[in-house]
Amino acid sequence: MSALDPVTLAVLNGRLVQIADEMDATLYRSAFNPIIAEAHDACHGLYHADTGATLVQGTAGLPIFVGAMAFAVKAVIDKVARDGGLEAGDTFLFNDPYDGGTHLNDFRLVRPLMREGKVFVWLASVGHWLDVGGNVPGNFNAKATESFQEGFRVPPVKLARAGVVQQDIVDILAANSRVPLSNWGDLNAQINALDLGERRLCALLDEYGDGLVQTALMMLSKRAEALMRCNIAALPDGTYSYDDFLDNDGITDAPIRIALDLTVKGDHMTLDFSRTAPPCDGPLNISRSTTIACCYVALKHLFTDVPANAGCLEPIEFVVPDTTLLGVSAPKPVGGYTETILRVIDTIFGAFAKAVPERANGSPFATINALSLAGWNRHGRRWVMFCFFGGGLGGNPEGDGLNHGNNPISTATIPPVEILESLYPVMFTKWSLRPDSAGPGRHRGGLGAIYEVEALADGGAEVFLLGERGKFPPFGVNGGRSAALNRFVFDTDGGEAAPPLVSKITDVKIRRGQKVRLETPGGGGFGDPAERDPERVVRDVRLGYVSHDRAREAYKVAVNNDGTLDAATTAKLRGMV
C-alpha cells in the first residue's frame, strides 16, 4: 500500500497512542497496590507480530518497561513457535528478568490480537507487584547472591487459554506472596487493561481497515529511524568515554565501574560497555535486554523529537558482553536493577556532555532508594510497604534542575504520604526539601528531599533499603559541581545508626516509635557557579534552598542576615574589584 498522507498518519498515531494511554489509565484506576495505582509503576504498548519490536507506547507508562517489553514479547513469540497452539484470547504471564524482564516484581502479561486467524499485533501490560516471595518483604534484598533469594521466577506460561483464566496458575501466584490479595487485584487490573486495549484496537481496525493501520505503523517506525539518524548525524564524529561507579554490590564494600565508549560515525552510533565491571555477587546485575531498554530511555531524553518506537534504535549498535554485569543470565541476582540502569543512563549523559557540552544536563540524583518496611498488623496479617523516593534533577542549558522529582527512567510519581499512611502502620514525621543538596552551577541542580518515617505498629517494623549514590555523588557538567551524597539513618536503642555499606541494609528492626530517615541527593549543576546571577542565589538563600555558607563558598555570593545581597563583599569574592 502506498504511503499515507500526513493528516491521516497523525490521526492514526493519535488514536493508537490513545489506546495505550487508556490501557494505562485502566490499570492505574483498578490496581490494589499503590506502587501501580498511585506511583504508576507500569506501562502498556503494542508490539510487532513477528519481531516483538515496540510499535506504540502510551504517554504515561514507564519508558524502561516499554523498552524491555520488546524482548519479553519476542520470548512469547519464540515460545509459540516452539509449542504452537496459539488461540485468540490466550494470555501469557511471566516475570523472568533474563528473558525480557527487569526484576522479579515486574509481571508481564502478553496477548495476541488476532485478525482472520493471524496475529496482527501483540498487546502487553507490565506492573510492579508488591511482593513475590523471596528472603525479604518487597524483594529488594541487598544481600541476595542468587535470584532464588529475591523471589519466585515464572517463565512464559499461559495464564488464560482462549480467554479462560487457568485457576491453577493464579493459585501458585497466591501461594508465593506475603500479600496475595494485593497481587490478585493487580493481576485482574492488568487483564482488564488488555481486554480494553483489544476492544479499542479492534474498533480502530474495523473503522480504518487492517492494511491502512499496518501501513501507518510501518511509516511511524521508519520516521523514528530517519529522525534518529538525522540527530546522530548532527553530532561531531568521534569516540566519547565516560565512567561512573556504583557504591558497592551489597556484599562487598568496593566500587563497581560502569563504563561507556560512545562512538558517533555519520548517522550511526555505537554504545560499547565492554569496559564495565564483571558480574557482581550482589543484586546490582542486569540482563542485556534491560541494558538496551535503559539506553533507549536515555536516548529519548537526549533526542526528544524522535517518536517512541523501535525505529529509533535502528541506527544504534549495542556492545554488551556477557562478561560484564550488564549482560548476565540466571541465576545472577538482579533485584537492584533500578540502581544499575540509572548509572548506565548517567554514563550516556556523561559521554554526550563531552560530544555536545552546550546541550548537556547535570546528573539527576540517580537512585530510587528502594525502601521497604514490613511487619504484622493487629489482625495478624502481614503488611509490606515498598516505596521509592524523589530527589533533584540536573541543571541544564535552559535553567535549574527540578526539585524533588523522579528519576529519568520513568514517568512515575512518588506515592502521596496520605496514601501510604492510610494503608500502612507508619507516620511520616518529615517530608521536605533538603537544603544544600543541589549541585552548584550557573544553573544549579534540583534539591533532594528528607523523609522521616516512624513505626506505629506494636511489633515495630523490619527495614530494608537498596539505594545508591552514598559514595559517588551526582556529577555536574561544564564546570557545574556535584550534588550531595545520599544518606540513610535509623533509630536504635543506643541512638542513630547508619548502614555499614552506606546505601544498602537488611536485617534491621525498629520498635514502635522509632524512625528511619532518608536524605536524598540533589542533581548536578550546569556551568560555573560563580557565573550564577547573584540575585538568584539570594532568592535561593531566602527560600532555604542554599545556606549562607554555601552561597559564599560555592557561588561567591554574600547574603546579609536580612536576606539581601551584600554587593560589595560579593564583588570582592568574585574578583571584580
pLDDT by residue, tens only, the chain of 577 residues: 467 999 999 999 999 999 999 999 999 999 999 999 999 999 999 999 999 999 998 888 777 787 788 999 999 999 999 999 999 999 999 999 998 889 999 999 999 999 999 999 999 999 999 999 999 999 999 999 999 999 999 999 999 999 999 999 999 999 999 999 999 999 999 999 999 999 999 999 999 999 999 999 999 999 999 999 999 999 999 999 999 999 999 999 999 999 999 999 999 999 999 999 999 999 999 999 999 999 998 998 899 888 888 899 999 999 999 999 999 999 999 999 999 999 999 999 999 999 999 999 999 999 999 999 999 988 888 999 999 999 999 999 999 999 999 988 767 788 899 999 999 999 999 999 999 999 999 999 999 999 999 999 999 999 999 999 999 999 999 999 999 999 999 999 999 999 999 999 998 999 999 999 999 999 999 999 999 999 999 999 999 999 999 999 999 999 999 999 999 999 999 998 7
> Is the omega angle on the peptide bond into residue 331 within 30 degrees of 0, that is, cis?
yes
Three-class SS state of 54:
strand
Q: Give the model's pLDDT for residue 2.
A: 64
Grid cell in block for residue 473: 555523588
Q: Give the model's pLDDT for residue 272.
A: 98
Q: Give the model's pLDDT for residue 65.
A: 80
CA-to-CA dists, residue 185 to 31, 42, 179, 191, 373, angstroms: 6, 14, 10, 10, 21
What is the C-alpha to C-alpha distance for residues 360 and 477, in angstroms, rounded to an integer?
Answer: 7
Q: Give the model's pLDDT for residue 442.
A: 98
Each domain of the chain, given as residue ranges in start order, spans 6-224, 360-532
Pairing of strands 515-519, 449-455: antiparallel
Contact by Cβ (8 Å): 181, 129: no
Q: Tell me whether residue 94 is exposed, middle or buried, using C-beta atoms within 10 angstroms of its C-beta: 0 to 12, 13 to 18, 19 or more.
A: buried
Q: Give the model's pLDDT for residue 377.
A: 84
Grid cell in block for residue 489: 539513618
What is the C-alpha to C-alpha distance for residues 66 and 122, in angstroms, rounded to an integer?
Answer: 13
Q: Tell me whether residue 192 is exposed, middle or buried, using C-beta atoms within 10 angstroms of its C-beta: 0 to 12, 13 to 18, 19 or more.
A: middle
Grid cell in block for residue 529: 557557579
Q: Give the model's pLDDT for residue 69.
A: 87
Grid cell in block for residue 63: 519508558
Whole-structure pTM value:
0.95
